[in-house]
Amino acid sequence: MLKNIVVFASGTGSNFKNIKHSIDNGDINGMIVLLISNNPNCGAVIFAKKYKIKYKIINDYRYKNIDEKNNQYKLVLDSYNTELILLAGFMKKIPMNVINGYKNKIINIHPSLLPKYGGSGYYGMKVHQSVIKHNEEETGVTIHFVTEKYDEGPVIMQRKIIVSNEDTPETLSKRVLKIEHHSYQLVVKAFCSNKITFNKNKVIINE
Told to judge if 21 belongs to the known catalytic residues of this protein, a careful annotator would answer no
SS3 31: strand
Q: Which one of the listed residues 110, 128, 144, 181 is annotated catalytic? A: 110
Cα distance between residue 146 and residue 18, in whole Å? 21
Task: Output DSSP code: residue 27.
Answer: -
How many Cβ atoms sit within 10 Å of the Cβ of residue 9? 28
User: Is residue 192 packed enough to be buried (19+ CB in 10 Å), middle (13-18) or exposed (0-12)?
Assistant: buried
Secondary structure in 3-state letters for 121-182: CCCCHHHHHHHHHCCCCEEEEEEEECCCCCCCCCEEEEEEEECCCCCCHHHHHHHHHHHHHH
C-beta of residue 113 within 8 angstroms of C-beta of residue 160: yes
How many Å apart are CA 23 and CA 5, to the nearest integer? 11
Q: Is the dihedral of CA 58, 60, 64, 65 positive or negative?
A: positive
Residues carrying an active site annotation: 110
